[in-house]
Structure 1
Amino acid sequence: MTHSATDPAPQPLGLFERLLSLWVALAMLAGLALGTLAPGLVTAIASAEVASINLVVAVLIWAMVFPMMVSVDLGAVANVARQPRGLMVTLAVNWLVKPFTMALLAVLFFDYVFAPWIAPEDAAQYTAGLILLGAAPCTAMVFVWSQLTRGDATYTLVQVSVNDLVMVVLFAPIVALLLGVTDIVVPWETLVLATLLYVVLPLGAGLLTRRALRSPERIARFAAQAKPLSIIGLIATVAILFGLQGQVILDRPMVIALIAVPILIQSYGIFALAYGAAHLLRVPHRIAAPCALIGTSNFFELAVAVAISLFGLSSGAALATVVGVLVEVPVMLSLVAFANRTRRHFPETPA
C-alpha cells in the first residue's frame, strides 16, 4: 500500500519520545508512591468502573489513541486488500500461535520450573491467568505503539478491527479449550464497551476532525500538534496502573517476578516470530512493526475482567493478568525502540 496524499512524511522521533522509557520509569515510581501515600485517591480512581473498565484509564487511553485516528484515511482502507500479508501475519500469530505458546510456557514454569516455590493450587491459578492474557490480543494500546514506530494508521486500524471481530468468535472457545472448562462467561459488556471507547469513538472523532481541517497540510499539522497528548496519556496511564497495584507489588515482589518470567519470554518470542515473518515476506516497515506489536501486547481489560468473573477478585488468576499489565509497557517500549532501529532492513514499499 502506498501512502495517500494526506499521509505526512515520517519524521524522526523527538527528544521527548526518545526519552520515553525514562518518563515511563518515573511514572512507575510516581504510581508506587501514589499508591502508598494517597491510598484514598487510588481507591477513588479504582472505583470509577463500568463493565470492569476503569473510566479514568479509559479517558487517558482515548487521549492516546485519538492523535493517530486523525491520520486514518478511510478512502485508503480498500488498499489494504492489495497488501494482505501484514494482516495475515497478525491473524496467524494471534490466533494460531500466541494462546498456545502462552499456555505451554505457563505450564512449563508453574508446574515444573517454579514448582519448588509455588503451591500447586496457586500454580493452577497463575496458569489460568496467563492463558486469559494469551488469548486476548491488544486493541487500544496498539495505536500508541504504531504511532511511535511511524506505522500506517489506516492499516493499523484495519488490523485491530479484524482482530476484534475474530476475538468475538474465538476468545471463549480457545480459553475453554486451554482451561479445560466449557462454561467460560465472556463479559460481553467489557468487550463491546472497550471496542466503542478505544476504537469506534476515537475513530469517529478523528474522521470529524479530518473533515473540519480539510486540507492535507492542516491535517498533518494538527496530528503533529496532538501527538504529545498521546505520550502524556501513556505516562499518566502507567502512573495510575502502578498506583492501583502498588500495594500488591510491594507485598508480593517475588510472586510478581515469577509470573513475569513466562510473560517476558512470550512477549519477546511472539514479537520475534511476527516481525521475522513480516521481514521474510517483505512487508513494509510501517505495516510490519504494528503487525508484530499487536500480537505482542494484550487486551488486559478483557483478561482481567474474565479472570475476576471466573476465579474472583483476589485470585491468583486475576493477579497474573494484572502482572501482564505491569510488564507490558516497559516491554513494548523496548520493542518499539528495536523496531525503530531496524527500520532500514524493511522495504519502504511493497515488494
Structure 2
Amino acid sequence: MPESFSDPLRAVPESEPQPDLERGDSLSVDTARDSIDYHDSSPLLERTSTSTTTQTVITSSGLSRTETNKLPPLKQLGVLDRYLALWIFLSMVVGISTGYFFPDIGSKLEKGGLAGVSIPIATGLLIMMYPIMCKVQFESLHRLLVVKTLWVQVAISLFINWIVAPMVMVGLAWLFLPDRPELREGLIMVGIARCIAMVMIWIELSEGDSDYGAILTAVNSLLQMVLFAPTAMFYINVIGNSPDHLQISYSVVAKSVAIFLGIPLLIAVITRVILRGHVISTKAYDTKFISFLEPFSLLGLLFTILILFASQGREVITQLTSVLRVVAPMFAYFVILFFGTLWLCHRLGYTYKICSAQAFTAASNNFELAIAVVVSFYGISSTQALAATVGPLLEVPVLLSFVYIIQYYREKITWGTKGSSEIL
C-alpha cells in the first residue's frame, strides 16, 4: 500500500481494494487536509462544520468516499456581517429622516462629552471598538522574535500600510476632489487608519494565512497608538496642503486615539489575559465569548452612524452629490491597494496564503477609528465625518467581491513557495 495512505486521513481502509487511479477514483490527501482544522488540544483530527458540507459518494469501483464542499464565501459570513452594508444604509436612512423631521437634534448632540464628543457618540464608539480589540491575538507577537524570516514579510506589510496606502488615498482624494478639502480630510483619515478587525474575516474566507494575519493585526493595533496622530498631521497638514482652518492638532488627535483606541485596547488585553485559558478555555473564548461580543461592535457602529446622520439630517440631503463623489476615490483605493499588493507579493515569490493575507491587510481600513477621530476633531455634523462614513458602506461589498476573485484565480496562477505557513 502506498505510504501516503498510512495516516489518519486515509479514505480507504487497508483491507479494501485500492481505487483505480486511471478512472479517477483516488482521493486527494492534500485536498482532505485543506478541508480540516487542526486543534492542539486534541490528538485527533476534528472537522469544523461552519464553512463546509460533506457528502458520501459511491465511486465507479464501488467504494464510498466522503467529499467536502466548501460553502460560498457569502454564506460563510454570519447574518450580521453578510448584510453589513444593508444595516449601515438603513441606519443612514433612519438617521437622515430623524434629523430632517427634528432639525434641532443636531445642536443637542453637539453638547459636551468625552474628548469633544457627545456622550451618545462616545458611548457608541467605545462599544464599537472593544469587541474588535478582544479579537486581536496579541500573544502571536512573540513569533516576531523567534522567526526572522517573518520580519521581511512584516516589513513589506508595514511599508504598504503606513507609507503607500495613505499616499495613494491622498493622491486619489486630490484627483477626484480638488475643490472639496473637507471631503479630502475625511478620506485621508480613512486611508491612515489601518484595519484590525474585518481583515481577519476576509483572510479566512479567502483561505489566506490566518496566523500571519493575526500577527499583522496585532502589530497594527499597537502602531496605531503611536503613529496615527503624527501620520495624520503629515498627510493632512503637509502633504495634503490643507487650509489653515482645517489643519489638525497633534494633541487633539493623539487624545482621541488614546481614548477611543487606547481604552478599548487596554480593557481588551486585560480581558484576554484573564479569561482566555484561565477563567474559560481558549476554544470557548475564541468561539463563544467572541461570538457573544461581535454583535455589540456592529450595534455600536450602527448607533454611531445613526446619530451622526441624525445630526446632519437636512445637510446630507442637500449634499447627496458630495456623498456620491466620495465613492469613486474610495473604490479606486480598494482596487489599487488590493491588486497592487497581490501583484507585488506574487512577483516576490510568496505563497497564495501569504499573498492573500498581505493584499487584504493593505486594502482594509479601521473605519471605526477614523470615524471616532474625525467626529472628535471636526465635529459630528462636519463634512469630514460624512465622508468617513462612506468607508464601511463601500468596503464590505467590495472586499467580499475580492474574496471571490482571488479564489477564482487561485488555481489558475502559479504561486511561489516563499513564506509558507510552516514558518509560523
Question: Given the two structures, how large is their TM-score scaled by the length of structure 2?
Answer: 0.63
Counterpart residue identity of residue 217, structure 1:
K
Match of residue 141 from structure 2: 77
**Alpha-carbon shift at residue 256 of structure 1 (Å):** 3.2
Fraction of identical pairs, as percent: 16
Q: Is 1:25 aligned with 2:92?
A: no
- State how many pairs are aligned: 328
Structure 1 unaligned runs (5+)? Answer: 112-122
Match of residue 272 from structure 1: 339
Output the CA distance in 2 between the equivalents of 1:4 and 1:161: 28
Q: 1:293 and 1:251, CA in 2 relative to 1: closer, same or farther beyond 3 A? A: same
Q: 1:128 and 1:15, CA in 2 relative to 1: closer, same or farther beyond 3 A? A: closer
What do you get for the CA RMSD once the two structures are aligned? 3.9
**Alpha-carbon shift at residue 31 of structure 1 (Å):** 1.7
Output the CA distance in 2 between the equivalents of 1:256 and 1:127: 9
Question: SS of 1:214's equivalent?
Answer: coil
Structure 2 unaligned runs (5+)? Answer: 1-36, 52-75, 205-209
Which one of the candidate residues 169, 172, 177 is aligned to 1:102? 169
Ranked by relative contact order (alpha carbons within 8 Å, sequence separation 6 or more), the top structure is 1
Which one of the candidate residues 176, 181, 184 is aligned to 1:125? 181
Counterpart residue identity of residue 156, structure 1:
T
1:200-211 paired onto structure 2 within 5 Å: 200-210=266-276
- How far does the alpha carbon of each residue in 1:61-90 deviate from its partner, in whole angstroms, 9 at most, with x for none? 433443344444443221245334553344
Counterpart residue identity of residue 238, structure 1:
I
Q: Is 1:217 aligned with 2:283?
A: yes
Which one of the candidate residues 364, 369, 372 is aligned to 1:301? 372
Counterpart residue identity of residue 391, structure 2:
E
1:1-351 paired onto structure 2 within 5 Å: 5=40, 12-47=76-111, 49-80=113-144, 82=147, 83-84=150-151, 87-111=154-178, 123=179, 125-126=181-182, 129=185, 132-133=188-189, 136-138=192-194, 142-147=196-201, 150=204, 152-153=213-214, 155-180=216-241, 185-186=249-250, 187=252, 188-210=254-276, 213-219=279-285, 220-277=287-344, 281-282=350-351, 283-284=353-354, 287-288=357-358, 291-295=361-365, 297=367, 299-303=370-374, 305=376, 318-319=382-383, 321-342=384-405, 344=407, 345=410, 349=421
Q: From the two aligned structures, give the one with the greater helix fraction.
A: 1
Output the CA distance in 2 between the equivalents of 1:69 and 1:107: 33
- Tell me if structure 1 keeps the 8 A contact 2:326–2:390: no
Q: 1:4 and 1:245, CA in 2 relative to 1: closer, same or farther beyond 3 A? A: farther
Counterpart residue identity of residue 331, structure 1:
L
Question: SS of 2:296's equivalent?
Answer: helix
- How far does the alpha carbon of each residue in 1:239-290 deviate from its partner, in whole angstroms, 9 at most, with x for none? 2332233322112222333344333323433343345545654354784365
Counterpart residue identity of residue 56, structure 1:
P
Output the CA distance in 2 between the equivalents of 1:63 and 1:184: 25
Question: Given the two structures, how large is their TM-score scaled by the length of structure 1?
Answer: 0.74
Output the CA distance in 2 between the equivalents of 1:206 and 1:247: 43
**Alpha-carbon shift at residue 29 of structure 1 (Å):** 1.4
- Tell me if structure 2 keeps the 8 A contact 1:136–1:167: yes
**More deviation, 250-259/10-19:** 10-19
**Alpha-carbon shift at residue 333 of structure 1 (Å):** 1.0
Q: 1:53 and 1:212, CA in 2 relative to 1: closer, same or farther beyond 3 A? A: farther
